[in-house]
Structure 1
Amino acid sequence: MASSSTRPSRAAADGGGKPWGALRRHRPFLLLCGEQAASSIGRQITALALTLLAVTRLDAGPLGASALLALTYLPGAVLSPFAGVLADRARLRTLAVTLTSLQVAVVGSVPLAGGLGRLGLPHLYAVAALSGALTWTLSVALQAALPRVIRPEQLLAGNSALTGARTAGQIGGPALGGVLVGLVGAAPALLAGTAAYAVEALLLFALPASLNGPAEQAVRRAPRLAALREGLAVVRAEPVLRRQVLAGAGFNLGSGAADALFVVYASRELVLPAWQLGLIYTAFSVATVAGVLLAGRFATSVELYRATRICAVVAALAIFLVPAASLGLAFPALLAYQLLFGITATVWAISMTTTQQLIAPQHLQGRVAGFAQAALLTTVPVGALSAGALASRLGTVPVLTGAATAALLAAASFWLPHHTDPPRRPS
């Protein structure tokens, strides 16, 4: 492992001058971009249809709907480290295609059960948990795959482009899902989700066969428990990685709490009309696109790790605009929140992922990504469920203020003094 006293080269930071031009002609990378868009559409349709089925057809209450959401996150929190070992040791292309093919079967079981008249809440909960496990395992695998597809100096541009592809799916997926649910019903609409996953599997199958060579060779493999410790050791030994994981987990605790209360707060306490709430969410989508476009330029102008630190604090400060909306000018305040948070959180996520990939050794990319993802996912449902419980006793505005404070404290930990600079990618 490289010493953590070295700094990424300027070429690595700016993508060698013209990363976008090379990536536009890079077939494996373009396949990954298409996969991200198809996967995002599939997830959006699936999440919307499952929730509507649970609430409107199977009479699930707020707790039932919350449990459905929590079940999509919990498998990732538990399984991500083990998924990292699998990603480092498996044939990556085969693993990715298998996971996506299983996703087709899992999600496709819902319209099948609906057609047979045997659909129930336990089935939906099982689908949410299995689909979540497959999604987060694939996420780790693809994070490990990217450094094997493109060069280190292209990672920043590559992560920006992949985030843009996911954002396109996040913008179009709910709209498509809503139209399909309105036309054919929630259960049949899931057939479109399975189709999106099938397209994703075909795109992954078209990746180069070289990805089927395991990153960690069989002769150097430790037992599984020791292999897990190897990934954790990288995170613990590198100050930058350790800070990113801890700060991200704390930030997600606060932002997850704010997200859980946002719709109820905006609609019931601030009494915003539906069209204003729709514009607020649209502003977030626009801000995410802006963040994708700005990430590379901002990170290279102020350095990658510094971009992470700056954007983390600004994103946390933006959350204070949510409880501040109760003081007046609610619509402009929440609009400003979504714009500011969307841009800075997107740049932060891209910078953080790129830094992680530059630091982690090639044969440990999956395990490092797995531990980081597990930490980040664990705190989201914890924050959401805690916010719901506390808001019923303390009120929404105090809990939102506390959530913003928790996020800011976590982001501020990036700025505590330390004695090492961000490391470059090890040879």
Structure 2
Amino acid sequence: MTLLLDDRSLRRHRPFILLCVEQAVGSVGRQVTGLALMLLAVIELDAGPLGAAVIMALTYLPGALLSPFAGVLVDRVPLRRLLVSATSAQALVVGSVAFAAAVGRVTWPQIYLVAGVSGALTFTLSVGLQAALPRVVGPERLLGANSVLTGARTAGQIGGPALGGVLVGFVGAAPALEAGSAAYAVEALLLFALPVALDTPVGRRDTPGESPTAALRAGLAVVRGEWQLWRMVLAGAGLNLGSGAAAALFVLYATRDLGLPAWQLGIVFAMMSAATVIGILLAGRLGRTMGLWRATRVCGLLTGASVFLIPAASWGAAFPLLLAYQLLYGLSGTVWAISMTTTQQLVTPADLQGRVAGFTQAALLVTVPVGALGGGAVAAWLGNVPVLVASAAVALASAATMWAPSGTREGVSPSAAEPSPPSPHAPSAPK
């Protein structure tokens, strides 16, 4: 059963409003939890660089590896029940660390286990929400809905670290984790308030007794069979590989090689937040005027090209060039991510939304730590600037693959999958 939206504004659509609030609350919870967990490891367990790196890797890698299997789960079980269960489990998992800290029993195995389980649950939730959105708002509203949800997540990502820092500074890491656990509990309640119809199957293609392997192959067949989707996944993986390497070196390069003072570095990072907001505001208009496929290709190319501004800063005018990089990357990368997600949802059959989102998310996630670790290792040998130039080349070349000739001239428009006459839409930009 598809939950189609009538002509009312999204602002009056209760299920969509619930998703917006859930995205903001969940984003704040994840930011507070991530900061508090890391600080707890540093303060209570005297974590060094290796320990911190392992926590960060465990936050991402399980999600990257398990996302396709999470997609199978999303397509096979009642969706609303799965979303509520995942967030409830996250509240309990994070709360267990707060309890252990309160009684003085925090251990490294628990920190590692919580980082890995919490990361896996986060990305399972991401896959589930990508599959749920087309059913909540209908295909004709996907572009606008994805833009608004990206804005809600961005608000949490901007305010979450500041809130986490204040909480840790005033009440300690353990109470901050309790706040993160409470945010997950609120998120679960918001998801529970979604329409019960989300638990109703939608045209399942699975045959009785079909193996998980066969189910995975069905999702992969869609990714490989839809030429636009296949190109976006390959381009996004390459973009994240190159930009991941650049991001790993960015702070070290800006402070040591370029000599940027802390206040300038802070303004540079603030520019990314401002550019993301601008990208959110422009995504819908660009998608409607240019078409989703053209907007995706143009913004992907701009995202890859912007990475060259980082090594270019070593030739002079470092501060303005890094500001320009953050502006161009944040704006074009945000539009790229929104357009790509919307296109993915439009071309994917309803019963395969979870699996396709899982494969896409896995491809985009796994290249980030690979690029970061590889870039850091090679930079220790060759230096930062050569690696940054190579990273930019990889990012741009990957984005350029979407411009290769294809067998069709047709692109996906915001109304391409509408069941009715046309009417005037987030795991995460490639970063």
Q: TM-score range by the shorter chain?
A: over 0.9
Q: CA offsets, 1:205-228, max 9 Å, x none? A: 100100111235487453221111
Contact 2:235 / 2:399 at 8 angstroms: preserved in 1? Answer: yes
Contact 1:361 / 1:426 at 8 angstroms: preserved in 2? Answer: no
Residue pairs, 1:62-81, within 5 angstroms: 62-81=49-68
Partner Cα distance (1:169, 1:226) in 2? 38
Select between 337-346 and 209-218 the one with higher mean Cα deviation: 209-218
Corresponding letter in the other structure for 1:147: P
Is 1:151 the equivalent of 2:138? Answer: yes
Show the counterpart of 1:414. 402
Moved over 6 A (4+): none
- The 3-state SS of whatever aligns with 1:282 is helix
Corresponding letter in the other structure for 2:358: G
Partner Cα distance (1:42, 1:240) in 2? 34
Is 1:165 the equivalent of 2:145? Answer: no
Contact 1:216 / 1:364 at 8 angstroms: preserved in 2? Answer: no
Question: Which of these residues, 187, 197, 202, is aligned with residue 200 of structure 1?
Answer: 187
Show the counterpart of 1:366. 354
Shift of 1:122: 2.3
Residue pairs, 1:7-406, within 5 angstroms: 22-217=9-204, 220-221=207-208, 222-406=210-394
Select between 282-291 and 264-273 the one with higher mean Cα deviation: 264-273
Partner Cα distance (1:226, 1:422) in 2? 30
Shift of 1:67: 1.6
* Closer, same or farther: CA 218–362 of 1 in aligned 2, 3 Å: closer
Partner Cα distance (1:123, 1:389) in 2? 29
Corresponding letter in the other structure for 1:405: A
Q: CA offsets, 1:141-198, max 9 Å, x none? A: 0100001111111000010010000001011101101111111122221111111111
Question: Which of these residues, 417, 422, 430, is aligned with residue 425 of structure 1?
Answer: 417
Corresponding letter in the other structure for 2:385: V
Show the counterpart of 1:10. none
Q: CA offsets, 1:335-373, max 9 Å, x none? A: 111111100000000000000000000111111101101
Q: CA offsets, 1:284-303, max 9 Å, x none? A: 11111110000000111111
Partner Cα distance (2:59, 2:45) in 1? 19
- The 3-state SS of whatever aligns with 1:54 is helix
Partner Cα distance (1:426, 1:237) in 2? 21
Partner Cα distance (2:249, 2:34) in 1? 18
Q: Percent identity?
A: 65
* Closer, same or farther: CA 229–425 of 1 in aligned 2, 3 Å: farther
Corresponding letter in the other structure for 2:417: R
- The 3-state SS of whatever aligns with 2:221 is helix
Partner Cα distance (1:426, 1:75) in 2? 36
* Closer, same or farther: CA 120–142 of 1 in aligned 2, 3 Å: same
User: Structure 1: which 5+ residue stretches go unaligned?
Assistant: 1-14
- The 3-state SS of whatever aligns with 1:334 is helix
Question: Alignment length, in residue pairs?
Answer: 411
Q: CA offsets, 1:211-260, max 9 Å, x none? A: 11123548745322111110000111111011011111111101111111
Partner Cα distance (1:218, 1:244) in 2? 25
Contact 2:94 / 2:181 at 8 angstroms: preserved in 1? Answer: yes
Shift of 1:426: 9.0
**RMSD (Å), alpha carbons:** 1.8
Partner Cα distance (1:419, 1:218) in 2? 28
Show the counterpart of 1:12. none
Partner Cα distance (1:410, 1:201) in 2? 38
Partner Cα distance (2:15, 2:417) in 1? 22
- The 3-state SS of whatever aligns with 2:9 is helix
Contact 1:80 / 1:140 at 8 angstroms: preserved in 2? Answer: yes
User: Structure 2: which 5+ residue stretches go unaligned?
Assistant: 420-431
Partner Cα distance (2:223, 2:388) in 1? 31
TM (normalized to structure 1)?
A: 0.93
Shift of 1:111: 1.5
Contact 2:297 / 2:402 at 8 angstroms: preserved in 1? Answer: yes
Partner Cα distance (2:317, 2:27) in 1? 34
Contact 1:80 / 1:373 at 8 angstroms: preserved in 2? Answer: yes
- The 3-state SS of whatever aligns with 1:254 is helix
Contact 1:360 / 1:425 at 8 angstroms: preserved in 2? Answer: no
* Closer, same or farther: CA 310–173 of 1 in aligned 2, 3 Å: same
